Amino acid sequence: MTHASQRTDRLTVASWALWDWGSAAFNAVLVTFIFSVYLTDSVGQQIDSRFSPAQWLSWSMAVAGLVIFAVTPIMGQRSDRLGTRRRALGFWSLLTFVAMAGLFFVRNDAPEYFWLGLLGLAVGSVTIQFAEVNYFAQLNQVATEDKVGRVSGLGWSAGYFGGIVLLLVCYVGFVAGEGGALGLSTEGGWNIRLVALLAAFWFGLSAIPVLLRVPEIAPSGATTGGAVASYRELWRTLRTLWKEDRNAFAFLFASAIFRDGLSAVFSFGAVLGVSVYGLSPGDVLIFGVAANVAAALGAVAGGLIDDHVGPKAIILACLVTLTAMAGIMFFAEGATAFWICGLILCLCVGPAQASARGFLARVAPPGREGEMFGLYATTGRAVSWLTPFLFGVFVSLMGQGDRGGVLAIGLVLFVGALVLIPVKDPAKA
């Protein structure tokens, strides 16, 4: 990393973390606690299908994962070589904004809107992941080597706190009672559609500071060629990584599994809260606020501890706890059990995510962070179909509504922990 492309002052770190703050508008508000619940619990009731709306949601996310898997490997590689990391971040952030704003048109009074909503969430999931490849790669540009853990934790916690604030705004102003404090109409899902529009602008405004403050990287000077050449280079990179840094290769594989499980905790948590544990959509929003507080505190604490004990210990401890909680939740009943177990789950998700990002930042070769985080996204998406697919399968086979999906999530987290055990901690190498 050249000095010209690195800026580690507090203002730059804050500007970088604001992107995480804004991304909660998509991840927490749309995918997890508000729009996905609206889509499955309201819009989805219009469709005539032997599959539940939650199953359709899981499978649409699986398809989005396959698209990400196919494209992200070359994206980070090309942005590194062309010196377009910041530009790529801006482009994909803009497309994410457009996808989010497009959800405004999803009404709840005709079945075709359900498919439109699925498409919008899937497209947004793709574009925000493309943006994240370049955003994550900037971590070494804004953090010195001895502060990677805490800066990564700061970013994740900013995301969760952003979710807290926006969820409260949405609940009080748009959802509570009938149309919230603003007294909005609920006909045709008007109040929730306005939430989607607000979330889009929230994200769009939060994405601007990082584009103004974090420097663009210099081109590496290596040729890029076409898409075919990029995939050939990717294959060479993977072979080289296998030969020269098998530990980094092993971590990419392990993280692909456990990060899919971590994502599912939030992706399906709200849906399960309503369909299995009896929470109302309004209760889910209140839980969402509490969940983000827990995850944020966990991310901050985990980031600070990470710089002392290393990321592996943090990740493993969280995965073991998450697996145990998933097992308990399968047998649990009622809203109280969901609240207790759900908050423990969220307390563990934050530090696991932050430490995983910090782990890779520590092992990424200088100047190739975009390529490594592209691989990070790619390997994650190589199995991103796994939890959504197993969710649908377990729900179908176990015949207890959506409850079987809890076991699917727990199984993926458990396997991820087992695969991570042999990986060496870079902080102790």
Task: Answer yes or no: is pLDDT of 405 > 60.
Answer: yes
Domains observed in the chain? 3-215+222-428 (1.20.1250.20)
Phi and psi angles of residue 48, each rounded to the nearest 5 degrees, phi first:
-110, 100
CA 145 to chain centre: 24
Q: Buried b vs exposed e over 162-190: b needs ≥16 C-beta within 10 Å?
A: bbbebbebbbebbbeeebbeeebebeebb
For residue 36, give the 3-state DSSP assignment.
helix
pLDDT band at 419 (very low <50, low <70, confident <90, very high): very high
For residue 271, give the 3-state DSSP assignment.
helix
CA quadruple 30, 42, 168, 96: dihedral, nearest 10? 20
pLDDT band at 367 (very low <50, low <70, confident <90, very high): low
Q: Do residues 244 and 168 touch, judged by C-beta distance below 8 A?
A: no
The pTM for the full model equals 0.76
- Please name which of 32, 179, 268 lies closest in space to residue 171, comparing C-alpha atoms: 179
DSSP code per residue over 72-129:
HHHHHHHHHHHT-HHHHHHHHHHHHHHHHHHGGG--SSSTHHHHHHHHHHHHHHHHHH
For residue 277, give the 3-state DSSP assignment.
coil
Predicted confidence (pLDDT) per residue in 59-96, tens digit: 888 788 778 777 776 776 677 777 888 999 999 999 99
- Residue 359 CA to residue 428 CA, distance in Å, equals 11
Predicted confidence (pLDDT) per residue in 213-253, tens digit: 999 888 866 665 566 766 777 677 778 778 877 888 888 88
- Residue 325 CA to residue 318 CA, distance in Å, equals 11
